[in-house]
Amino acid sequence: MKLQRKLITLFLASFLSILFCGSSVYAQKSPKDKFIFPQLNPIKMPKVERVELKNGLELFLVEDHEYPTIDMRAMVRLGSVFESASKIGLASMTGRVLRTGGTTSMTGDQIDKELETMAAYVSTGIGLTSGYITVSVLKEDIDRALEILADILMNPAFKEDKIYLAKIREKTAISRRNDEVGQIAYREFQKLIYGKDSPYARHPEYATIEAITRQDIVDFYNKYFFPNNIIMAVWGDFSPKDMVAKIKKALGKWKEKEAEVPALPKVSYEYKYTINYINKSDVNQSNIMLGHIGGLRDNPDYPALSVMNSILAWDRMYKKIRTDEGLAYSVWGYYGANYQVPGVFRCEAQTKSESTVYAIELMLKELKRIREEEVSSAELARAKDEYLNSFVFNFDSRAKIVNRLMTYAFFGYPLDFMDRVKKGVEKVTKEDVLRVAKKYLRPDKVQILVVGKKEDFDKPLATLGEVNVIDIKIPPLKPQKKTGN
Amino acid sequence: MNLKKRLYLKLVLFLAIITVLNLSLVAQTFDAVKSRVKVHTLKSGMKFIVLERHEAPVVSFHIYADVGSANESYGITGISHLLEHMAFKGTKIVGTKDYEAEKTILVELDALFDQIKGEKAKAKPDAKKLEEMEKKFEALRKKAKEYVITSEADNMLMKEGDRIINAYTSNDATQYIDSLPSNKVEFWMAMMSDRFFNPVFREFFKERDVVMEERRLGVETRPTGRMFEDFFATAFKAHPYGHSVVGHMSDLENITRRDVEQYFKKFYGPSNLTVGIVGDVKAEEVFKMAEVYFGRIPSGPRPEPVRTKEPEQWGERQVIIEAKSQPRIIIGYHRPDYRHKDNIPLEALANILGQGRSSRLYELLVKDKKVAVTVMSFNGFPGEKYSNLIAFYVIPSRGHTSAECLELIDEEIEKVKKELVTSDELTKFKRGNVKSLLNEMKSNSSMAALLTYAEVVLGGLDAAFDQIEQIRAVTPEEVKYVANKYLIKKHRTIGEIVPEK
């Protein structure tokens, strides 16, 4: 972290001192004067190559010769939503042990040592609806790094000792999951929205971790890790032709499969107004979340929702609750839209126990207001200008560009999706914002969660409605299952 | 030993040799960047450092104010950070409908705040009088608010496409960051020269409440937050590294707007500000604009560095936080500041012991003995400018204790004091640093941060250059030497979270 900054020393020579001679073409302006901005230099779009290997592995490549490094990031179609309810944690453990559990020719520890000695990083992991593989390496080490990567992906050993270690990690995380308020609030709110047993919100327990065997991990890997189930972005100091050849050499032998990855589980949601409370007796600040189900990104209303989000988060939640009232450091409101599965509409704030109910009332008031009256011209202009004027930052690194294309391809979105959103944003009107706020926000049917110490609240939570108390006690492992770890 | 393993070892040895050689190849990349860095110092002492980078039509700005919580004293802890918040509240021009009218009310508010504090401090405060005054205070505050254009400065920057409007305060520094399309440099100059030379600390009392919420969020409701706060307070009995950046709650309650103004006057003179600008700009043009917009500001005296030095520690210290939480432990040993000759060997020591999956402590505590899930080590804790700590942080695994972890760390520390580290381990340190540095240089914003850091913290580039040589030349003997010199029980502090019964 800090160390790196100091290493600037590696390349800084004595600074060139420039003698300044006085004559200036600039005259001092007030920030409120009108500025005529010079023409912005054009965005240089790099050439992105899209290549599919014979085994179905899809590549997006872009060359970037600024520094002698090469990076890769791949997405895999799989996820914890596909694990069985009795083995929650299987996907996460598979993602971890794929990298740590060694290969048929090297142990995981040998891989760690060799990669770190090269200052190379290879990591794998599995989330809810996708897995990832990343590689980051100095250019000169790319061949060896690719060999190791291929070995990990094609010949993983899933050694028992590292499975055991991964179980310790999972069980430790379970034992610590109620240590901090923020973590509790996020986890339990997801369960309120998607349902506590939903694949999109459930979490491991000691028993589900204990139930996982090495064979489960091997099966999970076999089912989902094959080249035609992976899309990879590659960027750095190479020529695309050479790089494709190198990847072909390393991963070309990997056999494709005909297997079908199942469709993602459906989300069903019933709008309802609920008040939920989790007791945390050792805090002086409440963590508040409220909201309901969100939507999908390919919704034609997404540009208008993006503008609404910007106004809701900044002009309404932040300015009113933080700046005007001083009630919270962090306050937020956002209609979440995901690529494939409905996201979550969530407002959140952390406020001292004594202003808990007041803050909730203010948040609800702002939600009602944004769907009852049009936003102001200034709010609309600020939100749209910000989006459009900062659009150029979507192209400020080649890594960003190639990763975006890969992500769109992975989720089956048009590759020019972002430009379509931009065109949409340009056209958004005040009427549009009001229309989508009315259509998608339901302040009368929000689910409210408060984690905190109710004895210190300004008013009883019950003034908002009937309170459902959530028990977050961690279910212990059944005694007969004791295996010594 | 089987054949495969021996081959593997050979390979590693071979790699170690070529990697050391190739470090110098990477150095060529750095040389190429270095020749493009340009610096310009205004008469007032304010420095502008520019790196032209024409990859995309954008630019990032980094203002490094050489002031942090280490510059604070009792009674005003947290004021550096509070001032950072106040810097976004506008100026005589921005954020107000009528500054002259607003000003009168702000002054009245300040006077009333003093009176309320005075009444509260009495042996027998008059409750009725207090209530009246507080009512009047609230009414005045609302009246002042009528003149405010809420968050106008932020709005103006956002409208022009500022992607990252942010700031952060540490023990050592206060840093302000922005990124804009590269044709808006002059607009940024106008905004920032106004911000730093015409500030009005309006909406003071509500913003102070926000900072109090930040303290509750980061320190008081978070067991690790409480642990770090008490840990520093224990490790530093004299030096201001002993108090947290966010400050004590009672100080936040009592700091006045005048305190902030005086603090600003003392620490935000042009000679205490350094600006890094990286992106699609022309250095010459940037310097011309800097002269026009910042050159008008008269210079002032550079503030005196922190006087207090942490005295030698007389014995091991320990502090315990009881919390509804699983255990955690942090161990810190005193070490000198970043300009000391032992700095680089200490960095190597921290890296070899506890950075990465193949570091010694990770291998021992996590992989081998399985008593921990996380172990890491770092320097510059909590700051870098003054003598600080080399620290080890451990999250024990379920069913294991901090004491077990500490015992193993002690064993490994004894080993590194007796035996030389391997050349492989040193290579890992050297290459790892080069790699992370390259990664940081890929973004305009982090590059701008790097430039100001090198200038201010490392004390200029000549000193910085000496460190390069040290990194390249660091030896196993030096690592052993600093391990023996600094990793001494008498000079350490242990902080622990102990689960509340």
Residues A233 and A287 in one domain: no
Nearest to A75 by CA among A234, A265, A257: A234
B12-25 per-position pLDDT tens digit: 433 333 444 455 65
CB contact B54 to A (< 8 Å): yes
Model confidence band, residue A306 (pLDDT cutoffs 50, 70, 90):
very high
Residue B283 tokens read as 């250095």
A41/B182 touch (CB, cutoff 8 Å), yes or no: yes
B464/A324 touch (CB, cutoff 8 Å), yes or no: no
Distance CA B480, CA B422 (A): 11
Identify the closest residue of chain A to B56 by CA–CA distance.
A396
Burial class (CB in 10 A: 0-12, 13-18, 19+), A18: middle
CB contact B338 to A (< 8 Å): yes
CATH code assigned to B47-96+148-294: 3.30.830.10
The pLDDT of residue B461 is above 80: no
CB A247 within 8 A of CB A59: yes
pLDDT of residue B458: 81
Angle between helices B476-486 and B402-418 in degrees, nearest 10: 130
CB contact B401 to A (< 8 Å): no
Q: Kindly give the pairing relationship between strand B37-41 and strand A467-469.
A: unpaired
Residues A140 and A182 in one domain: yes
Q: Name the residue among B55, B155, B191 with its Cβ closest to that of A382.
A: B155
CB contact B468 to A (< 8 Å): yes
Q: Where are the alpha helices (DSSP H) in B165-254?
A: 185-197, 204-215, 223-235, 249-254
Q: Name the residue among A116, A281, A324 with its Cβ closest to that of B206.
A: A324
Distance CA A195, CA A198 (A): 5
Neighbours of A408 (CB within 10 A): 18
Neighbours of A370 (CB within 10 A): 25
Radius of gyration (Cα) for chain A, nearest Å?
26
Distance CA A253, CA A32 (A): 63
Contact list in B for residue A2 (CB cut-off 8 A) is 378-380, 384
Place of tokens 């000193």: B463
Model confidence band, residue B464 (pLDDT cutoffs 50, 70, 90):
low
A373 CA: distance to closest CA in chain B (Å): 20
A283-304 per-position pLDDT tens digit: 999 999 999 999 999 999 999 9
Residues A459 and A348 in one domain: yes
CB contact A15 to B (< 8 Å): yes
A391 CA: distance to closest CA in chain B (Å): 8
Distance CA A451, CA A437 (A): 27
A383-402 per-position pLDDT tens digit: 999 999 999 999 999 999 99
pLDDT of residue A5: 37
The domain defined by B317-499 carries CATH number 3.30.830.10: yes
pLDDT of residue B468: 67
CB contact A38 to B (< 8 Å): yes
pLDDT of residue A3: 37
Q: What is the mean pLDDT of residues B319-335?
A: 97
Whole-angstrom CA distances from B358 to A62, A110, A464, B44, B365 are: 32, 9, 53, 49, 11
Restricting to A residues 432-471, those with a Cβ less than 8 Å away from any Cβ of B are none
CB contact B37 to A (< 8 Å): yes
Q: Where are the alpha helices (DSSP H) in A297-376?
A: 302-310, 356-370
Question: What's at A34, amino acid-wise?
Answer: K
Using a cut of 0.90, tell me whether the model's pTM lies above it: yes
Distance CA B170, CA B65 (A): 11
Asked if the structure places residue A40 within a domain, the reply is: no
The count of residues in chain A is 485
Residue B349 tokens read as 């020591």
Q: What is the mean pLDDT of residues B256-274?
A: 96
Nearest to B249 by CA among B496, B495, B82: B82
Contact list in B for residue A179 (CB cut-off 8 A) is 223, 323-326
For the domain that residue A427 is a member of, what is the CATH number?
A: 3.30.830.10
| CB burial readout B301-314, b (16+ within 10 A) else e | eeeeebeeebeebe
Return left, alpha or beta for A89; rule: phi > 0 is left, psi -120 to 50 is alpha, else beta.
left
CB B71 within 8 A of CB B240: yes
Asked if the structure places residue A358 within a domain, the reply is: yes
- The continuous run of DSSP H or E covering B39 comes out as strand B37-41
Distance CA A328, CA B96 (A): 23
Asked if the structure places residue A10 within a domain, the reply is: no
Q: Where are the alpha helices (DSSP H) in B87-145?
A: 99-121, 127-145
A41/B428 touch (CB, cutoff 8 Å), yes or no: no
The mean pLDDT of chain A is 93
Asked if the structure places residue A269 within a domain, the reply is: no
Model confidence band, residue A20 (pLDDT cutoffs 50, 70, 90):
very low
Return left, alpha or beta for B247; rule: phi > 0 is left, psi -120 to 50 is alpha, else beta.
left
Identify the closest residue of chain B to A316 by CA–CA distance.
B150
Contact list in B for residue A111 (CB cut-off 8 A) is none
A271 CA: distance to closest CA in chain B (Å): 31
Identify the closest residue of chain B to A399 by CA–CA distance.
B442
Q: Compute the 3-state secondary structure of chain B and give helix, strand, coil in percent, each to the nearest 5.
A: 55, 15, 30
B443-453 per-position pLDDT tens digit: 999 999 989 99
Neighbours of B97 (CB within 10 A): 11
A310 CA: distance to closest CA in chain B (Å): 11
B308 CA: distance to closest CA in chain A (Å): 24
Q: Name the residue among B57, B358, B378 with its Cβ closest to that of A113.
A: B358
CB contact B142 to A (< 8 Å): no
pLDDT of residue B64: 97
Identify the closest residue of chain B to A378 by CA–CA distance.
B155
CB contact B57 to A (< 8 Å): yes
B347-376 per-position pLDDT tens digit: 999 999 999 999 999 999 999 999 999 999
- The residue segments making up the domain with residue A224 are 49-251
Q: Which of A251, A285, A303 is the last residue of a domain?
A: A251
Asked if the structure places residue A206 within a domain, the reply is: yes
CB contact A12 to B (< 8 Å): yes
Q: What is the mean pLDDT of residues A356-373?
A: 98
A116/B220 touch (CB, cutoff 8 Å), yes or no: no
Phi–psi pair at B166, nearest 5 degrees: -160, 170
Contact list in A for residue B61 (CB cut-off 8 A) is none
Contact list in A for residue B224 (CB cut-off 8 A) is 180
Place of tokens 């028990």: A471
E-assigned strands of A179-251?
Answer: 230-236
Q: Name the residue among B216, B358, B436 with its Cβ closest to that of A112.
A: B358
Nearest to A127 by CA among A78, A74, A73: A78
pLDDT of residue B409: 98
A169/B373 touch (CB, cutoff 8 Å), yes or no: yes
Q: Compute the 3-state secondary structure of chain A and give helix, strand, coil in percent, each to the nearest 5.
A: 45, 20, 35
CB contact B167 to A (< 8 Å): no
Whole-angstrom CA distances from B12 to A144, B59, B92 are: 12, 42, 64
The pLDDT of residue A479 is above 70: no
Residues A191 and A336 in one domain: no
Distance CA A438, CA A448 (A): 20
B246 CA: distance to closest CA in chain A (Å): 12
Model confidence band, residue B466 (pLDDT cutoffs 50, 70, 90):
low
Contacts of A237 (CB under 8 A, 6+ apart): A63, A64, A65, A66, A67, A68, A69, A70, A139
- The continuous run of DSSP H or E covering B154 comes out as helix B152-159
Residues A289 and A221 in one domain: no
Asked if the structure places residue A352 within a domain, the reply is: yes
Q: Where are the alpha helices (DSSP H) in A412-461?
A: 417-427, 430-440
Chain CA centroid to CA A143, Å: 30
CB B402 within 8 A of CB B227: no
Return left, alpha or beta for B257; rule: phi > 0 is left, psi -120 to 50 is alpha, else beta.
alpha
Q: What is the mean pLDDT of residues A114-140?
A: 96
Asked if the structure places residue A464 within a domain, the reply is: yes
Contact list in B for residue A353 (CB cut-off 8 A) is none
Asked if the structure places residue A11 within a domain, the reply is: no
Contacts of A22 (CB under 8 A, 6+ apart): none
Contacts of A474 (CB under 8 A, 6+ apart): A174, A175, A177, A178, A205, A206
Residues A322 and A210 in one domain: no
Distance CA B134, CA B115 (A): 10
The pLDDT of residue B300 is above 70: yes
Nearest to B349 by CA among B418, B431, B413: B413
Q: What is the mean pLDDT of residues B244-267?
A: 97
Distance CA B494, CA B392 (A): 10
Candidates A1, A12, A355: best to mutate against B (most CBs of B within 10 A) is A12
Distance CA B389, CA A203 (A): 38
A206 CA: distance to closest CA in chain B (Å): 11
| CB burial readout B427-447, b (16+ within 10 A) else e | bbbbbbbbbbbbbbbbbbbbb
Nearest to B448 by CA among B43, B38, B60, B17: B60
Model confidence band, residue B150 (pLDDT cutoffs 50, 70, 90):
very high
Q: Name the residue among A12, A114, A140 with its Cβ closest to that of B464.
A: A12
**Domains in chain A: how many in total?**
2
CB B366 within 8 A of CB B267: no
Q: Where are the alpha helices (DSSP H) in A252-355?
A: 302-310
CB A139 within 8 A of CB A63: no
B160/A385 touch (CB, cutoff 8 Å), yes or no: yes
CA atoms within 13 A on the CB side of B171: 20
A141 CA: distance to closest CA in chain B (Å): 9
Model confidence band, residue A11 (pLDDT cutoffs 50, 70, 90):
very low
**Domains in chain B: boundaries:** 47-96+148-294, 317-499
Question: What's at A48, amino acid-wise?
Answer: V
